[in-house]
Chains A and B, each alone.
Chain A
Amino acid sequence: MRRLPFDYAARNLGRSPLRLSISVVGSVLVVVLAISAYAFVRGMDRSLVGSGSPNNVILLGAGSEESIERSEISTSVASQVQATIPGLKSQAGQAYVSPEVHAALAVSIEKDAEPIGQAVFRGVTPAAFSVHPQVRMIEGRTPQTGADELLVGQLASARLGLSGDRLAVGQQLWIDDRPFTIVGRFAAPNTVMNAEVWVPLTSIQTLTRREGISCVVLTLGDAEFADVDLFVKSRVDLELAAIMETEYYDQLSAFYQPVKMMVWITALLIGAGGLLGGLNTMYAAFASRIREVGTLQSLGYSRRAIVISFLQESLLAAATGAVLGSLISLALLDGISIRFSMGAFGLLVDAPTIGFGIAIGLLLGVIGSIPPALRCLRLPIAEALKAN
Chain B
Amino acid sequence: MAMIECRQLSKTYRKGASIIKPLDSLDLDVEQGSFLALMGPSGSGKTTLLNLIAGIDQPTSGSLTIAGQNIAALSRSKLASWRAKHVGYVFQLYNLVPVLTAYENVELPMLLHPLSRKQRHERVGTALSLVGLADRHDHYPRQLSGGQEQRVAIARAIVTDPQIIVADEPTGDLDKPSAHAVMSLLVRLNQELGKTLIMVTHDAATAEHAGLTLHLDKGQLVEQSVTAAFSGETATTHADEGGDA
Q: Are B80 and A295 in contact (CB under 8 A)?
A: no
Closest to B140 in A: A11
A324-339, CB < 8 A from B? none
Given contacts A5-B104, A295-B97, A385-B56, contact A302 B80 (CB under 8 A): yes
Digit string of B101-139 for contact with A (CB within 8 Å is 1, else 0)?
A: 000100011011000000000000000000000000000
Partner of A299 from B77, B82, B112 at Cβ < 8 Å: B112
Q: Which residues of A contact B57 (CB under 8 A)?
A: 380-382
A263-294, CB < 8 A from B? 291-292, 294
Q: Are A8 and B80 in contact (CB under 8 A)?
A: no
Given contacts A5-B104, A382-B51, A385-B56, contact A300 B97 (CB under 8 A): no
Q: Does B204 contact A (CB under 8 A)?
A: no
B60-82, CB < 8 A from A? 76-77, 80-82
Digit string of A18-38 for contact with B (CB within 8 Å is 1, else 0)?
A: 000000000000000000000
Q: Are B111 and A2 in contact (CB under 8 A)?
A: yes
Q: How far, in Å, is A16 (CB) from chain B's closest CB?
A: 11
Given contacts A5-B104, A299-B108, A382-B56, contact A11 B99 (CB under 8 A): yes
Q: Which residues of B contact A7 (CB under 8 A)?
A: 100, 104
Q: Does B195 contact A (CB under 8 A)?
A: no
Q: Does A191 contact B (CB under 8 A)?
A: no
Q: Which residues of A contact B54 (CB under 8 A)?
A: 298
Closest to B94 in A: A295
Cα distance A382–B83 in the bound complex, in angstroms: 14
B155-212, CB < 8 A from A? 156
Q: Does A231 contact B (CB under 8 A)?
A: no
Q: How far, in Å, is A124 (CB) from chain B's closest CB?
A: 69
A1-57, CB < 8 A from B? 2-5, 7-8, 11-12, 14-15
Digit string of B211-245 for contact with A (CB within 8 Å is 1, else 0)?
A: 00000000000000000000000000000000000
Q: Are A8 and B97 in contact (CB under 8 A)?
A: yes
Q: Are B99 and A299 in contact (CB under 8 A)?
A: no
Q: Are A302 and B100 in contact (CB under 8 A)?
A: no
Q: Which residues of B contact A4 (CB under 8 A)?
A: 111
Digit string of A177-206 for contact with B (CB within 8 Å is 1, else 0)?
A: 000000000000000000000000000000
A146-167, CB < 8 A from B? none
Q: Which residues of A contact B80 (CB under 8 A)?
A: 297, 300-302
Q: Are B99 and A300 in contact (CB under 8 A)?
A: no
Given contacts A2-B112, A301-B112, A380-B57, contact A291 B95 (CB under 8 A): yes
Cα distance A11–B48 in the bound complex, in angstroms: 33
Q: How far, in Å, is B103 (CB) from chain A's closest CB?
A: 12
Q: Which residues of B contact A296 (CB under 8 A)?
A: 97, 108
Q: How many interface residues does chain A have, given as a range? A: 20 to 34
Q: Are A298 and B56 in contact (CB under 8 A)?
A: yes
Cα distance A298–B76 in the bound complex, in angstroms: 12
Q: Are B91 and A300 in contact (CB under 8 A)?
A: no
Q: Does B84 contact A (CB under 8 A)?
A: yes
Cα distance A165–B169 in the bound complex, in angstroms: 81
Q: Which residues of B contact A380 (CB under 8 A)?
A: 57
Q: Does B89 contact A (CB under 8 A)?
A: yes
Q: Which residues of B contact A12 (CB under 8 A)?
A: 99
B14-32, CB < 8 A from A? none
Q: Which residues of A contact B56 (CB under 8 A)?
A: 294, 297-298, 381-382, 385
Q: Are A298 and B104 in contact (CB under 8 A)?
A: no
Q: Are B51 and A300 in contact (CB under 8 A)?
A: no
Most central of A4, A14, A295 by chain B CB within 10 Å: A295
Cα distance A294–B51 in the bound complex, in angstroms: 12
Cα distance A302–B79 in the bound complex, in angstroms: 10
Q: How far, in Å, is B4 (CB) from chain A's closest CB?
A: 17
Partner of A300 from B93, B104, B109 at Cβ < 8 Å: B109
Q: Which residues of B contact A381 (CB under 8 A)?
A: 51, 56-57
Q: Which residues of B contact A14 (CB under 8 A)?
A: 99
Q: Are A385 and B99 in contact (CB under 8 A)?
A: no
Cα distance A296–B80 in the bound complex, in angstroms: 10
Q: Which residues of B contact A3 (CB under 8 A)?
A: 111
Q: Are A302 and B77 in contact (CB under 8 A)?
A: yes
Q: Which residues of A contact B98 (CB under 8 A)?
A: 15, 292
Q: Are A299 and B84 in contact (CB under 8 A)?
A: yes
**Minimum-distance CB pairs A-B, first 9:** A300-B84, A11-B99, A295-B95, A381-B56, A382-B57, A300-B83, A299-B109, A2-B112, A382-B51
Q: Give me the interface of A with B, judged by CB distance under 8 Å.
A: 2-5, 7-8, 11-12, 14-15, 291-292, 294-303, 380-382, 385
Sample of 6 further A-B pairs with CB below 8 A, known A2-B111, A298-B54: A5-B104, A5-B108, A5-B111, A11-B100, A292-B98, A295-B91
* 20 A-B pairs whose Cβ atoms sit less than 8 Å apart in the complex: A2-B111, A3-B111, A4-B111, A5-B108, A7-B104, A12-B99, A291-B93, A298-B83, A299-B83, A299-B84, A299-B89, A299-B109, A299-B112, A299-B156, A380-B57, A381-B57, A382-B47, A382-B57, A385-B91, A385-B95
